[in-house]
Structure formats: C-alpha cells, structure tokens
Homo-oligomer: A and B are copies of this chain.
Amino acid sequence: MSGEVIPISESDVSDFSQTVTPSFTATGIPGFDELLGGGIPTGRVVLVLGEPGAGKTTLCSHFLANGYSKFQENGVYVSLEENKIHLYREMARYGIDFAEAERNKRFAFVEASPIRHAPSILTAGNMTIGKKEFSLMALMDSIKRAIATVDAKRVVIDPLSYLIFLYTSSAELRGALLDLMEGLSELNATVLMTSELKNSGSVVRSTIQMEEYVAHGTIIMQSIKVGTSLQRVIQVQKMRESEIDRQPRPYAISKNGITVYPKESVL
C-alpha cells in the first residue's frame, strides 16, 4: 500500500531555488500601516475579525478604495450578504464612490449571496457535487473572473460567515478553510476576508476561532471597557512575514473613515 498511492511526498529539491523577499501592500488607512509594519504582506490572505458594528466592511472598503485611488491597484469586493446598493450608499458617506470606480474599471463588485440558494445536490454531467463544494468552487470561479476584468491586486471577501456555517464538522470546516486559503493564495492578489467574533469585550481571548489559525494574518476589531467608557480597539494578532505591533490600539470611525492611533495604549 505504501509505494505508489501515498499522496504525501517530500519536496523536489530542484523546483525551489530562490527565496522571495516579502513586500507589503499598504492599506492607506491612517495609522494602520504602522501597526502592520508597512502593510499587508503582498499576496497573503488576512482575516479581519470583528464584533457587530466594529467597522469590518468600512476597513475593507477603504483598503480597496485607497488601492485604486492612491496605489494604482484595482480591487474586487465579494459580498456574500450585503447588497450592492447598500454598500455603495454606506461608503458614499466616506467619500468613496464605488459606482464611479466600477465604471472606470478600477473596481468590481461580486454579489455572491446567490450561493445561499444553490440546491443541496447539484449534478454536472454524470458528476454529483454537494452544496458546500459547489459554493466554494463557484465563489472561486467568480472571484477569478472579476479579478481578470479589472486586473485586481486587492480582493475583499465579506463575510465568510455563511460559508463557515455550512460546515458542522470541524474536520470538514478545517479542510474547507485550507482549500479556500489555497485557492485565494493562487490569485496573485492581497486578500482581506472578514469573519465574526463569537465573543467580544476582551483583548485576551477566551475562545479562539478556527479561522484565526488558518489565515496568514488576523486583525481583530472590537470594543473594550476602558475607564468609564467603551473604546474601540484594533489589534494585529498575527501576520506572517511581518514585524508587527501586537498591542491593541484605539481607532475611530468618522466621516473621514477609519483612523488608528498606533502610539496610544489602551490597557
């Protein structure tokens, strides 16, 4: 049983002959790139985890809008729950005009919520495929086509939640998250994907969610009690290839968007 069927193999020495120097994709969000040690490592897939109202969508939208307006990098927004008109209206208050960017082919919006309505079992020719597998495949396929349309270097997937809830077995979820990571890693784009905190209110986490381990980096946005008020804090918990500031730092959301205060301490 060993010889030919073992799917695991040592790497072939000859096919890897040079290491790659990491580069960073700046978010352009004031104060945030400082925490990140320059930006998101280019080509990596980073999780933005936040409580309700933390501003995950706002942060991701600025990542894309700053990309095409400041860094000549086009972007794709993949929405699994929010519809287009709602997102555009929301971002308009920050002066982001996704509609215009879309017309100028610097931005593409993918409405991925239809995967909710896929039938449980699909057949393609004589192959049968389950809803979960199909959802991932269809999602990847749509993302790739949208990237091609605008030559995107930045991608946002917001939120992963429905995909995560499809899996009731931990092993299946782990496998799916790893498959997703593999697919996204091959896009030659820097990816932010959002997910939802199950528990909140503390910077020392009592329960760690599986997606935090699988992602290349994790950014956590939440409110904690500081003195006599609630304070929004953002924390770069993990970032592969980066020298990050892991302390929680305050941030604010105003008409100017998100501002992170990388020098202020909150604990």
Contacts and interface: CB of A to CB of B under 8 A. Distances in A.
Interface in A66-124: 81, 83-86, 88-90, 92-93, 97-99, 102-103, 108-118, 122, 124
B237 A7 contact: no
B10 A149 contact: yes
A199 interface: yes
In the assembly, how many copies of this chain are there? 6
Interface of A: 1-2, 5-11, 13, 16-22, 51-53, 81, 83-86, 88-90, 92-93, 97-99, 102-103, 108-118, 122, 124, 127, 129, 137-139, 141-142, 145-146, 149, 159, 161-162, 165-166, 168-171, 173-175, 178-179, 182, 185, 196-208, 212-218, 223-225, 227-230, 232, 237-241, 243, 246-248, 253-255, 265, 267
Given A11-B102, A88-B16, A93-B22, A6 B124 contact: no
A71 B174 CA distance: 36
Given A1-B129, A19-B88, A200-B204, 11 more contacts: A2-B141, A8-B111, A9-B114, A9-B142, A10-B108, A10-B111, A19-B99, A52-B213, A52-B237, A116-B175, A203-B230
Contacts of A9: 110-111, 114, 142
A105 to B, nearest CB: 8
| Complex A-B, nearest 6 residue pairs according to Cβ-Cβ distance, in ascending order | A53-B238, A201-B204, A7-B114, A165-B171, A8-B142, A19-B92
Contacts of A206: 199-201
A214 B165 contact: no
A102 B19 contact: no
Contacts of A99: 16-19
Contacts of A174: 161-162, 165
Contact of A110 (B10, B110, B203): B10
22 contacts: A7-B118, A9-B114, A11-B84, A21-B92, A22-B93, A52-B212, A52-B213, A53-B217, A53-B238, A116-B175, A161-B174, A162-B171, A162-B175, A165-B169, A165-B171, A165-B173, A168-B171, A201-B204, A204-B223, A204-B230, A229-B247, A229-B267
Nearest to A104: B13
Contact of A204 (B86, B110, B225, B238): B225
